[in-house]
A and B are shown apart, each in its own frame.
Chain A
Amino acid sequence: GQNIDQPTEMTATEGAIVQINCTYQTSGFNGLFWYQQHAGEAPTFLSYNVLDGLEEKGRFSSFLSRSKGYSYLLLKELQMKDSASYLCAVRANDYKLSFGAGTTVTVRA
């Protein structure tokens, strides 16, 4: 089975930076995804890593270390609209996507 861990909650101030860590143990590895999900809405794709290193996309960056089974999502210049749940999802050898429990980020003014 898959084991994906991420913190339950994080709080940060508007304009700040927050880093959400994700560790995983899976049967094989075929990519790691980060999704954003606002309450009552569908997950929306943020980033994808399959090779080690940093992927940058505007205010959001994602990092992967396959040898450590570790990823993080970095949110810069936080805005109130960034308050949401952030889901780490890993695709294993069977190509199924397994999600972590999600990290609820609250941005305060």
Chain B
Amino acid sequence: DTEVTQTPKHLVMGMTNKKSLKCEQHMGHRAMYWYKQKAKKPPELMFVYSYEKLSINESVPSRFSPECPNSSLLNLHLHALQPEDSALYLCASSQDPRSQETQYFGPGTRLLVL
């Protein structure tokens, strides 16, 4: 099973809303990632969790707040977003950050901020 699941698939939110994106994997992977992808652009790394600890934050604004409750789950809490934050948010996982294994991507959450 090489599946990473993400919910919801689509999300529309206002700039004053608080919402959360969820990601789950049951492959025993110890590294999990959040990426942001705008249309016709490559994915851009936001956060990396390694063994449930935040190891990389790519200078992401504080209106994005990641959380890793356990080794299978990764959340991204959203608050006071801007319209330019509208994008596809991809979760990925890998064996661990230093493994030669590839990252497996979830289907993404398509976010629209109004």
Contacts of B108 in A (CB 8 A): 41-42
Segment at the A interface, from B13-21, B42-50, B60-68, B70-78: B42-50
Specify which of B41, B42, B88, B98 is in contact with A95 (CB 8 Å cutoff): B98
Cβ–Cβ < 8 Å partners of B11 in chain A: none
Q: Specify which of A33, A94, A96 is in contact with B102 (CB 8 Å cutoff).
A: A33
Q: Are B100 and A31 in contact (CB under 8 A)?
A: yes
A105 at the interface (CB under 8 A from B): no
Q: Which residues of A, 37-90, contact B by the 8 Å Cβ criterion?
A: 40-45, 48, 50, 87, 89
Instruction: Number of B interface residues at 8 Å Cβ cutoff, please give it.
Output: 21
Q: Which residues of A contact B100 (CB under 8 A)?
A: 30-31, 48, 50
Interface residues of B (CB under 8 A from A): 40-45, 48, 56, 88, 90, 97-98, 100, 102-108, 110
22 contacts between A and B (CB under 8 A): A33-B102, A35-B105, A40-B110, A42-B105, A42-B106, A42-B107, A45-B102, A45-B104, A48-B102, A50-B100, A87-B42, A89-B42, A94-B56, A95-B97, A97-B45, A97-B103, A99-B42, A99-B44, A100-B42, A101-B41, A102-B40, A102-B42
User: Which A residues fall within an 8 A CB radius of B?
Assistant: 30-31, 33, 35, 40-45, 48, 50, 87, 89, 94-102
